[in-house]
Structure 1
Amino acid sequence: MSTEQRRALDSRLREAPQPDGPASIERLREGFAGFMAPFPIPAGIRRTPVEAGGRAAVLVEPATDPRPGTILYFHGGSYILGSPQTAMALTAQLVRRTGARAISLDYRLAPEHPFPAAIHDGLAAYRGLLDSGAEASSIVLAGDSAGGGLAVTTTVAARDAGLPVPAGIVAFSPGLDQTRSGASMTTKEGVDPMFTAEGMRRTGELYLDGQDPHQPLLAPAVLADLTGFPPILLQVGTNELLLDDSVRLADRARDAGVDVILDIVADVPHVFPAFVGTLDEASEALDRAALFIAQRLRTAASA
């Protein structure tokens, strides 16, 4: 356990500058991009602009020949911030560790494009991969924060549309409940160094645009039917308001007969696997995620 690393990271996150008063969407997006920019991208990775389901995307692949399979990646940012670039370090780490290519989707953001625009874009990108000849069994959906939630809801939408489900889902600290009814939304207030319940309420309102959050695609942790889902890996820290989103989705997956790994690490923050080079547990978690992806793709290839 890297106790000193965890304490230092917690202090650093708490000292990060916050906007003075209400900030515009433009300022929030600029601030988030600036916060994510220093995260290092590993060497030996090639990035190419592409299109996926009618949306811009980035193909992230090893500089040498990639192994078979595709990671369809969804970035975080509360559905109002972010881009493939803000999640590039995390995406590239998965590519380096698995040897498989990733396609990171630039899905539409609220408030300009509220729910369900992002899910429509995720489904269109997944359908586009299938239409291009990729087997569902050669695709893993992955994402962080809101993007982790999108990996889950895209799978719900794909299954409900009659499409085959992907080989697996990897979700780092996913947001899975717009009703914000998890106990950790209260018990982790003040423990979470990055978010407050009030801040999540405000960003959630931008995504919801007045719609009732009590819907499976907005609260899969409490309302989604996960029957027929592929294996799921959920990685989350104990110092998170969103902790119980993962805990409750894992319960629903288990009850639906779905293979699920709930990977909880103590005293680490939101999307802790992104902090490679700062937190030993980040690299260890990414190794576990890469093993899960490789096993899903290898299992599919041998079927």
Structure 2
Amino acid sequence: MTARPVFEEDGTTHVPAFDLPASAFSSPQAQAAQAYRAKMAGAAPVTAGRDIAEVRAGLEVMLAPQVAGVLAAFPVDVVDETIAGVPVKIFTPKDKPFDQERVLINLHGGAFTMGWPSCAMLESPPVAVLGGYKVVSVNYRMAPEHKHPAGAEDVAAVYAELLKTYDASRIVIYGGSAGGALTGQMGAWLPAHGLPQAAALGIFGAGAVRFNSGDSAYIAGYIDGSFAPPPPPGEKPVDITNGYFSGHDMKDTSISPALHPEVMAKYPPTLIITGTRAMDMSPAIVTNSALLKAGVRSTLIVGEAMGHCYYYNFQLPESQDAYQAMIGFFRENLA
């Protein structure tokens, strides 16, 4: 007889061990990718306490083949510049015309501590080429050298400078993982600091609420393994952001705006992308619900059997669908 879960009165559920087969609804390519997962060591390594230069360099080496694949599939011109004192990379389609009147701001992933420029190189070229857009990826300040709200301040500075050339209705902000969370925070930050709201937001692999919370943090921790599940009660959780939010209330409007209805009411149309096996699914769902309750247009895409920022693997049909959804949503909401 199959073991069944045991429920405690305090809401705790004791889940029996089980085998999770590949989803019948996932693509053959996604199922084949499990062969690579079988060779992986498990959850992402803990970076707290390690030399940050070593951690960052290691990620760049690990993602180099993936970046090379993206650049081969989506040829772009990349220019390094500084906008409002903040380093950026500007991506435009190579040898192809692109929209001169609109601009997209990309906020790269990397747990608020790494990911530059590798994650920017994964997130920006597909959108630039498929949409025919200029994408400005921001090298915002990160931990452990800096703390919140350093990243938000940098993004706001770049945004304010771009407003001198582009109307706010022609600017979209999007990002993945930490960059997705930062994008969610910008929806609250801009109006709170006297800046006009962007035309739309793209929150991918994240939500406008703190990470490592909700059902998905546990579920993904045991069935996906990219991130370890939260520790048992009484044990201190590992801070994957290397202290980026230390000293701040994680329920604050600038960190978890989805917990504040009056803040969410000021958001622009928002596209949210997560996966059924992603640790960010709960934050994504909570954010989508908060936006809908606030009367703001929100579109939530949940990739079946997909993990954290699955669209980084651009070859998957699920990822290609996600990119088409991004382009369609941005195009529909840009003036």
Same fold judged by TM-score > 0.5? yes
CA apart distance, 1:189: 2.2
- State the 1:211 CA deviation: 2.4
2:199 alignment partner in structure 1 = 167
Q: Which amino acid aligns with 1:241?
A: M
Question: Which letter does structure 1 place at the counterpart of 2:252?
Answer: Q
- Residue pair 1:146, 1:175 contacting (<8 A) in 2 also: no
Secondary structure of 2:254's partner? coil
What corresponds to 1:82 in structure 2? 115
Which of 37, 46, 57 in structure 2 is aligned with 1:30?
A: 57
Q: Quick check: 1:53–1:126 contact (8 Å CA) kept in 2?
A: no
Are 1:272 and 2:296 counterparts? no
- What is the match of residue 137 of structure 2? 104
Give deviations 1:138-171, integer Å, cap 9, x for gaps: 1000100110111121221111112211110112
Tell whether 2:79 aligns with 1:48.
yes
Give, as a single letter, the amino acid of the residue that structure 2 aligns with 1:148: G
Q: Is the 8 A contact 1:66 1:100 kept in 2?
A: yes
Once the two structures are superposed, what CA deviation does each residue of 1:240-297 show, in whole Å capped at 9, x if it has no partner? 11111000000110011100000111101111111112x2111111011111111122
Amino acid at match of 1:101: K
- 8 Å CA contact retained: 1:153, 1:217: yes
1:59 aligns with 2:90: yes
Query: What's the offset of the Cα at 1:5?
Result: 2.6
Counterparts of 1:107 and 1:144 in 2: how far apart (Å)?
Answer: 14
2-structure distance, mates of 1:65, 1:191:
43
Which residue of 2 is the match for residue 16 of structure 1?
40
Mapped to 1, the partners of 2:183 and 2:266 lie a distance apart of 15
Q: Distance in 1 between matches of 2:146 and 2:246?
A: 9
Matches within 5 A, 1:181-260: 181-198=213-230, 201-204=238-241, 206-223=243-260, 225-260=263-298
How far apart are 1:216 and its partner, in Å?
1.6
SS in 2 for 1:163: coil
The residue that corresponds to 2:16 in the other structure is none
Change (3 A) 1:52 1:192: farther
1:106-136 Cα deviation digits (max 9, x unpaired): 0011111011111111111111111x22100
Distance 1:27 1:14, change over 3 A: farther
Paired residue total = 296
2:17 aligns with none
| Unmatched 5+ stretches in structure 2 | 1-24, 232-236
Q: Sequence identity, in percent?
A: 25
Structure with greater helix share of residues: 1
Q: Secondary structure at the match of 2:321?
A: helix
Matches of 1:20 and 1:14, distance apart in 2? 20
Contact persistence 1:238–1:267 (CA under 8 A): yes
After the TM superposition, which of the residue ranges 192-201 and 75-84 deviates more from structure 2?
192-201
Where does the alignment leave 5 or more consecutive residues of structure 1 unmatched?
none
Q: Is the 8 A contact 2:274 2:303 kept in 1?
A: yes
Tell me how far 1:13 sits from its aligned partner: 3.9
Deviation at 1:66, TM superposition (A): 1.3
For 2:22, the equivalent position in structure 1 comes to: none
- 1:34 to 1:14, Cα distance in 2 relative to 1, 3 A: farther
Partner of 2:31: 7
Q: Which one-letter code corresponds to 1:12 in the other structure?
A: Y
2:10 matched residue in structure 1: none
Is contact 2:108-2:137 (8 Å) kept? Answer: yes
Change (3 A) 1:214 1:204: farther
* Runs of 4+ displaced beyond 4 Å: 17-22
Secondary structure of 1:207's aligned partner: coil
> Which residue of the partner structure matches residue 185 of structure 2?
153
CA–CA distance in 2 between the matches of 1:183 and 1:268? 16
CA distance in 1, matches of 2:98, 2:28: 37
**Aligned-partner residue type, residue 273 of structure 2:** Q
